[in-house]
Structure 1
Amino acid sequence: MSAGTIVRIAARGEGVTADGRHVALAAPGDVAEIDGTVRPGPHHAMPPCRHFPRCGGCQLQHVDDVAYAEFLTGRVVGALAAQGIEAPTLRPPHLSPPHSRRRATLRAERIGRRVVIGFNEGQSHRIVDMAECHILRPELFALVAPLRALIGPWIKERRQATIAMTLADQGVDVALEGVSPEGLAAHEALVGFAQAHGLARLAIDEGYGSEPRWEPEPVTITLGGVPVALPPAAFLQATVEGEGALREAAVEAVGDAATVADLFAGLGTFALPLAAKARVLAVEGARDPALALRSAANRAGRSLLVEHRDLFRRPLSGEELGRFEAIVLDPPRAGAKEQAPALAAARTGVIAYVSCNPATFARDARTLLDGGWWIDWIRPVGQFRWSTHVELAARFVR
């Protein structure tokens, strides 16, 4: 075996040499020596966080932005190639900046008198006790140390708890699971903590669903200029910057369409801004987001109809889709396999496809291309900074 130059980054973050060797923590341009050491090249960066690479929250802090952008693009190109699709025009990727994640789920555990909070190690259930974080918004990270003191007495020995945090319009929304605060003193401690830290909401799930213990006013998230009620555990794009990149791509793809269907609409990330200039049907399978979107649109006077419908079990037909000049869809990681055949046959002008999984996007793209569509452009999006998670927005036309 001889020394080899790293030519690309694999899907899980390892560097890959020209002869196919995978080398941990190597960046493109690095040289993997015979003795197993890595000689840094021009794209090798100094990781900013003391917890890297042990913490599973990041996999790519050792690469610079040029290599990270190439990784995002390469993941999309590779997924398309696996379906026999030649890559179309790929726009420069969006990279969300450090300290921009507005939602995160952390783990907590009590070990003796010590409480650890953080992300799990990669491929492990062990928690990396968070002393710093370069991906979270400061508002979220500022709560880590106070939460250690608050929840420690309520975590059973060697049992993990979950802390979900989302930055809403009113402040941070905190949801705890796996803790058991009992009695008046515990209730007063929860309320005092929420007041002291200006929380928007503090909820606890003890196995019977999320129960708010503090919510002085209804919690909202503003989408397309419209405040929308934020249900507990509702999906939200990870960063404001990433949401903006995806929204701008979808709005551009739709263009001047007067009628738009937004499939897997969620809380209205795309439906609400589109409804400012078009008539929009928003279709969402989860009840709470659908109700929140409907109420928000009615209050704002947006031209938006919301249908609560499971698109996996009951996808829209080609006839239903053909009533719209443009279609927007943003499915979960599983993609839109059940909806794709009707999309392929639909007599509509354009499809804007937002995806959080290049592999299922490419699978659905194959169905669309076989139905006579072609891909105008794709923009990769990296809003999970320094992770291997890749998102994208694409425009399909006939």
Structure 2
Amino acid sequence: MSLNQDEIVRVAGRGDGVTADGRHVPFAAPGDILRADGGLTRGAHYQQPPCKHFPACGGCQLQHLDDHAWSGFIVDRIAGALAAQRLETEIRTPLLSPPNTRRRATLHAERRGRQVRMGFTEQNSHTLIDIEECWILAPELFQLVGPLRGMLAALIPGNRRINVHLAQTDQGRDVLIDGLEAEGLAAAEAITAFAHRHQLARFSMDEGFGPTARWEPEPVTVTLGGVAVPFPPGNFLQATREGEAALVKVVREIVGSARAVADLFAGLGTFTFALPQARVYAAEAARDPILALKAAAARAQRTVFADHRDLFRRPVAPSDLDHFDAVVLDPPRAGAREQAAEIAASKVPVVAYVSCNPNTFARDAEALCKGGYRLDWVQPVGQFRWSTHVELAARFSR
């Protein structure tokens, strides 16, 4: 077929389909044809969205794409971000997590009369979607939604909205409620009965002073690299086991046989404990995760130096980085501008950069490349199913 100006050729950053002549069309997939009446003739890469709440629910934006189109969206996002910094490299085929594998999520809950609504908000809105099904959450977590509505109906006062953080741990399901006070004997008994009935690993409340466990029969852990690491309530955890395994495999490929590794923005130690052959310096600004990492490393007798360090205000200097064979860099969405500048001035031979934001990754990649590094390749990882959220791991070398 010759170029058809009405054909959807790609998906833009916020999920709209884009025609060959640049028009944006909501919920269109590559290969769809925009008709003169404004309707769409569906192509090979459109799929019927499986969830009844799509597209209202903001938990997913791309349920109308098949895996081929979703992969193409991920690659385009990364390539576009790199092109904005005049960078280009090999982008591998994305590694996608299956549906119903999310092991952590934050839902919102609010009272409406006698009923409690719970779910995700609409995209770009505060309107809450009361979910009756979910195609991204692990079934074990979704099974708690209905019972939590019933329990919270007795605890949420007025029309207040609260946050419900769910996670799957070694001991089972972990629940953290924030934005709600639950004082008194009746509330305590209701929480204990609920946690016992549903065999929770832990039930915590954050009433404005930090999370406090109300039920925790045994210490809650997550296993990382074969090491059981204490899991602080509401802490960061890779969204799916499949996504974590993919990122760990790529980081191991990049680091190779390095004997001394700096793991910067280490969190609980997802990559620290994935490198048992190496001596690891693990730096993290958040207090609870770095203490958990340190305790777990000591119990497992791993050669790890855990440093409670703010890498934005006090990045590791080139003189110290030069002692390492490899650096693992896994910053938050804001990227690692300050630390990337120090790495660019160092002699570290290889860098594994794990990112959840292609734009800040590309900005930092430019700094590394200007410092003499080569961006060898990028491995995308799609662990936020049907989302516009893009993650990746990249290899830089001197």
TM-score normalised by L of structure 1:
0.98
Output the CA distance in 2 between the equivalents of 1:3 and 1:52.
Answer: 28
Per the alignment, residue 381 of structure 2 pairs with: 381
Output the CA distance in 2 between the equivalents of 1:64 and 1:312.
Answer: 39
How far off is 1:3 after superposition?
6.8
User: What stretches of structure 2 of length at least 5 have no aligned partner?
Assistant: none
Q: CA RMSD in A?
A: 1.0
User: Is the Cα–Cα contact under 8 Å of residues 5 and 19 in structure 2 kept in the other structure?
Assistant: no
Paired AA for residue 66 in structure 1? H
Paired AA for residue 143 in structure 1? L
User: What stretches of structure 1 of length at least 5 have no aligned partner?
Assistant: none
Output the CA distance in 1 between the equivalents of 2:378 and 2:87.
Answer: 13
Where does 1:105-184 land on structure 2 (aligned, <5 Å)?
A: 105-184=106-185
Paired AA for residue 215 in structure 2? W
User: Is the Cα–Cα contact under 8 Å of residues 262 and 271 in structure 1 kept in the other structure?
Assistant: yes
Q: SS of 1:140's equivalent?
A: helix
Q: SS of 1:20's equivalent?
A: coil
How far off is 1:156 after superposition?
2.4
Output the CA distance in 1 between the equivalents of 2:209 and 2:257.
Answer: 46
Output the CA distance in 2 between the equivalents of 1:40 and 1:155.
Answer: 45
Output the CA distance in 2 between the equivalents of 1:183 and 1:137.
Answer: 33
Q: Which of 34, 39, 53 does residue 37 from structure 1 map onto? A: 39
Paired AA for residue 315 in structure 1? P
Q: SS of 1:297's equivalent?
A: helix
Output the CA distance in 1 between the equivalents of 2:207 and 2:298.
Answer: 34
Per the alignment, residue 243 of structure 1 pairs with: 244
Matched, 1:366 2:366: yes
Q: SS of 2:190's equivalent?
A: helix
Provide, for residues 68-111 of structure 1, a one-character-per-residue CA deviation record: whole Å limited to 9, x for no partner: 0011111100000000112x121110100000000000000111
Output the CA distance in 2 between the equivalents of 1:33 and 1:183.
Answer: 62
Per the alignment, residue 353 of structure 1 pairs with: 353
Provide, for residues 111-139 of structure 1, a one-character-per-residue CA deviation record: whole Å limited to 9, x for no partner: 11121100001111111111000000111
Paired AA for residue 126 in structure 2? H
Q: SS of 1:267's equivalent?
A: coil
Output the CA distance in 2 between the equivalents of 1:208 and 1:393.
Answer: 35
Paired AA for residue 16 in structure 2? E
Per the alignment, residue 279 of structure 2 pairs with: 279
Provide, for residues 176-217 of structure 1, a one-character-per-residue CA deviation record: whole Å limited to 9, x for no partner: 123332321211110010011111110111222211110111
Output the CA distance in 1 between the equivalents of 2:305 and 2:181.
Answer: 41
Output the CA distance in 1 between the equivalents of 2:300 and 2:179.
Answer: 38
Alignment: residue pair count: 395
Per the alignment, residue 64 of structure 2 pairs with: 62
User: Is the Cα–Cα contact under 8 Å of residues 259 and 278 in structure 2 kept in the other structure?
Assistant: yes
Per the alignment, residue 94 of structure 1 pairs with: 95
Per the alignment, residue 189 of structure 1 pairs with: 190
Provide, for residues 258-301 of structure 1, a one-character-per-residue CA deviation record: whole Å limited to 9, x for no partner: 11100000000001111x10111111111111110011011001
Deviates more, 1:37-46 or 1:155-164: 155-164
Output the CA distance in 1 between the equivalents of 2:162 and 2:301.
Answer: 41
Q: What stretches of structure 1 move > 3 A for 4+ residues in a row?
A: none
Q: SS of 1:393's equivalent?
A: strand
Paired AA for residue 140 in structure 1? L
TM-score normalised by L of structure 2:
0.98
Output the CA distance in 2 between the equivalents of 1:139 and 1:255.
Answer: 36
Q: SS of 1:296's equivalent?
A: helix
Paired AA for residue 328 in structure 1? V
Paired AA for residue 182 in structure 1? E
Paired AA for residue 363 in structure 1? R
Output the CA distance in 1 between the equivalents of 2:208 and 2:373.
Answer: 47
